[in-house]
Amino acid sequence: MKKLALLLALLLTLGLTSAQTLVFGSSGFPASLDGVDSQDGNSLVVSGQITERLVDFAPGKTDLIPGLATSWSANDDATVWTFELRQGVKFHDGTPFNAEAAKFNLDRWNDPNHPYSGRAEGKTFVPWGWVFGGPIGDGNLIESVAITGEYEIQLTLTQPAPFLPALFAAVYFQFNSPTAVMAAGVNYGTPNVGSVGTGPFKFVEWIEGERIVLERNDDYWGGPAGVERIVFRGIEQPTARLAELQAGTIDIAVNLTSDDLATVQNDANLKTAIADTELNVGYISMHQANAPFDNVLVRRAVAYAIDRDAIVSAFYEGLGVVAQDHLPPVLFGHGEDWPYEYNPEKAKELLAEAGFPNGFTTQYWYMPVSRPYFPAPQPIAETIASYLADVGITAELMTEDWATYLADYPTGKFPMYMIGWNADYADPDNFLRTFFGPSSITDQGWDSPETRALIQEASQISDQDRRAALYAQVVNTVADQAISIPMAHNRSLNATRVGIDGWVASPLGFSSVSLHSVTKAQ
CATH number at residue 319: 3.10.105.10
| Residue 102 located in a structural domain | yes
User: Picking from 14-23, 101-110, 118-127, 368-377, which range would have the lowest pLDDT averaged per residue?
Assistant: 14-23
Which one, of 212, 314, 276, 250, lies nearest residue 495 by Cα?
A: 250
Instruction: Provide the pLDDT for residue 375.
Output: 86
Do 39 and 82 sit in the same domain of this protein?
yes
Q: Residue 453, Cα to own-chain centre: how many angstroms? A: 25
Asked whether residue 110 carries a pLDDT value surpassing 90, the answer given is: yes
CATH number at residue 511: 3.40.190.10
Do 459 and 505 sit in the same domain of this protein?
no
| Residue 16 located in a structural domain | no
| 442-448 mean pLDDT | 97
Domain limits for position 330: 280-490
Do 206 and 301 sit in the same domain of this protein?
no
Using CB atoms within 10 Å of the CB of residue 218, give its burial: 0 to 12 exposed, 13 to 18 middle, 19+ buried: exposed
Asked whether residue 161 carries a pLDDT value surpassing 90, the answer given is: yes
Instruction: Provide the pLDDT for residue 462.
Output: 85
Q: Which residues pair with 213 in a beta bridge?
A: 205, 231
Do 323 and 446 sit in the same domain of this protein?
yes
Residue 259 confidence class, pLDDT cut points 50, 70, 90: confident
Asked whether residue 19 carries a pLDDT value surpassing 80, the answer given is: no
Number of domains comprising the chain: 2
Do 78 and 209 sit in the same domain of this protein?
yes
Do 509 and 373 sit in the same domain of this protein?
no
| Residue 417 located in a structural domain | yes
**Pure H helices in 270-353:** 296-305, 308-315, 344-353
pTM (2 decimals)?
0.80
How is residue 226 annotated by DSSP? S
Do 94 and 176 sit in the same domain of this protein?
yes
Instruction: Provide the pLDDT for residue 317.
Output: 86
| Residue 7 located in a structural domain | no
Instruction: Provide the pLDDT for residue 30.
Output: 95
Asked whether residue 14 carries a pLDDT value surpassing 60, the answer given is: no
| Residue 463 located in a structural domain | yes
Instruction: Provide the pLDDT for residue 5.
Output: 47
Which one, of 386, 316, 382, 312, lies nearest residue 344 by Cα?
A: 386
Which one, of 492, 486, 487, lies nearest residue 319 by Cα?
A: 492
Torsion, Cα 320 519 240 9, to 10 degrees, reads 170
Do 191 and 331 sit in the same domain of this protein?
no
Q: In three state form, how does the secondary structure of 182-209 look?
A: HHHHHHCCCCCCCCCCCCCEEEEEEECC
For residues 18 and 240, which has the higher predicted lDDT (pLDDT)?
240
Residues 6+ apart with CB under 8 A from 499: 520, 521
Residue 15 confidence class, pLDDT cut points 50, 70, 90: very low
Do 226 and 305 sit in the same domain of this protein?
no
| Residue 170 located in a structural domain | yes
Residue 286 confidence class, pLDDT cut points 50, 70, 90: very high
| Residue 272 located in a structural domain | no
User: Picking from 106-110, 127-131, 185-189, 417-421, which range would have the lowest pLDDT averaged per residue?
Assistant: 127-131
Do 31 and 144 sit in the same domain of this protein?
yes
| Number of CB atoms found within 10 A of residue 3's CB | 9
Q: Could you check whether the bond before residue 368 is cis, i.e. omega within 30 degrees of 0?
A: no
> What is the per-residue pLDDT across 372-387, written as a single tens digit (0 to 9) for each?
899 889 999 999 999 9
Residue 492 confidence class, pLDDT cut points 50, 70, 90: confident
Instruction: Provide the pLDDT for residue 354.
Output: 98
| Residue 13 located in a structural domain | no
Asked whether residue 405 carries a pLDDT value surpassing 70, the answer given is: yes
Instruction: Provide the pLDDT for residue 6.
Output: 47
Do 340 and 389 sit in the same domain of this protein?
yes
| 147-155 mean pLDDT | 98
> What is the per-residue pLDDT across 202-230, written as a single tens digit (0 to 9) for each?
999 999 999 999 999 999 999 999 999 99
Cα separation of 387 and 59, whole Å?
Answer: 40
Instruction: Provide the pLDDT for residue 1.
Output: 47
Using CB atoms within 10 Å of the CB of residue 521, give its burial: 0 to 12 exposed, 13 to 18 middle, 19+ buried: exposed
Do 505 and 433 sit in the same domain of this protein?
no
Average pLDDT, the chain: 94
> What is the per-residue pLDDT across 311-345, written as a single tens digit (0 to 9) for each?
999 999 889 999 999 999 989 999 999 999 999 99
